[in-house]
Chain A
Amino acid sequence: MVNGLIGKKVGMIRFFIENGEAVPVTVIEAGPCTVIQKKTENTDGYEAIQLGFESRKKVNQPQAGHFRAAGAGNFAVMKEFKTDQIDELEVGQEITLDIFEIGEKVSVTGTTKGRGFAGVIKRHGFAGGSATHGDTAPRAPGSIGAAAYPARVFPGKRMAGHYGNVRQTTRHLEVIDVRPEYGVILVKGAVPGPRNGIVLIKKHQSS
């Protein structure tokens, strides 16, 4: 089977599982993805399949040619996944969320929400200064080091700056439910990115 799928974050809800427990889950629209290309040992030096997700009307000429072989239209997102059954998969074949089982662990990769140029409280969880009693620096970082010695600020000192909008993976999330009728899987816990953000769902490597 393929070890993952491309999906889209739909949102979070409180979900009641069989024993009555309330579990926070993220609803992810997982697939269906189409096999666009097979990478093989002979031609590419490794084995993988390229999956496409979400159809797209306009693509440039080189991409259109790449998609033609699969014959399933054009795609907005493409990603490679590993598989142990490359011989049984055909270009153009559709992979659905049936590859996921209830109870198994997955990792979900997405792009975190961009927070722009963020201060040190939001970005690094600093405590900040006092907001009252005449204090003038409620959100300032405070001292950034000693003076004459070392006469410089150490590299890696946590400061304000750009925060978010980076690729991030949340690992070891449990699949709580698989709902083929809505094309979604429910995963326990939070997942990086905004609603409608593209995420990669990968089966957790069992070692």
Chain B
Amino acid sequence: MNPVEMIEREQMRADLASFQVGDTVKVHVRIKEGEKQRVQVFKGVVIRKRQGKTGATFTVRKVSYGIGVERIFPSNSPLLEKIEVLSQARVRRSRLYYLRKRRGKAARLKDKNFR
């Protein structure tokens, strides 16, 4: 088989929880500070997932002290400790860029099971 595919396959992370755009997630990232290693948690809404093998990424947005913060994670990075899905939302598009213009109440998402 094509060596590119084989190498990509062995680098993929199958152990991480699956999630969708609109989900509120907690991303646990390993961070190295000098000699020490610790785990940092980034909690927010997934506003974008990019397709790809090892090149896939996803973007998590949160509002921290009134300032919007977005962080892009490689979906298969070995630095990801785990991903927790806290809640799922019903969204009608794959890229939630419109959340950037919204603040507070307007930036809420509908719960997935809400009818």
For A15, A16, A29, which residue has the most chain B Cβ atoms within 10 angstroms? A16
Q: Give Cα A182 to B4, complex, Å.
A: 9
**23 A-B pairs whose Cβ atoms sit less than 8 Å apart in the complex:** A10-B2, A10-B4, A13-B4, A13-B7, A13-B53, A13-B54, A14-B54, A14-B55, A15-B11, A16-B77, A16-B78, A19-B32, A20-B78, A20-B79, A22-B54, A22-B77, A27-B3, A27-B4, A27-B7, A179-B3, A182-B3, A182-B6, A183-B3
Decide if A184 is an interface residue (CB 8 Å cutoff): yes
- For residue A13, which residues in chain B have a CB less than 8 angstroms away from its CB? 4, 7-8, 53-55
Quick one: CB contact mask for B1-35 with A, threshold 8 Å, 1 for yes? 01110111001000000000000000000101000
Chain A: which residue is nearest B76 at the CB level? A16
B residues with CB within 8 A of A: 2-4, 6-8, 11, 30, 32, 52-55, 74, 76-79
Q: Count A-B pairs with CB separation below 8 Å.
A: 44
Interface size on A, residues (CB 8 A): 16
Query: Secondary structure at chain A's binding surface: helix, strand, loop or mixed?
Result: strand
Q: Give Cα A13 to B10, complex, Å.
A: 13
- For residue A179, which residues in chain B have a CB less than 8 angstroms away from its CB? 3, 7
Chain A: which residue is nearest B3 at the CB level? A182
A15-B11, A15-B54, A16-B11 as given contacts; A22 in contact with B4, CB under 8 Å: no
- For residue A15, which residues in chain B have a CB less than 8 angstroms away from its CB? 7, 11, 54
Residues of A1-54 whose CB lies within 8 A of B: 10-11, 13-16, 19-20, 22, 27, 29
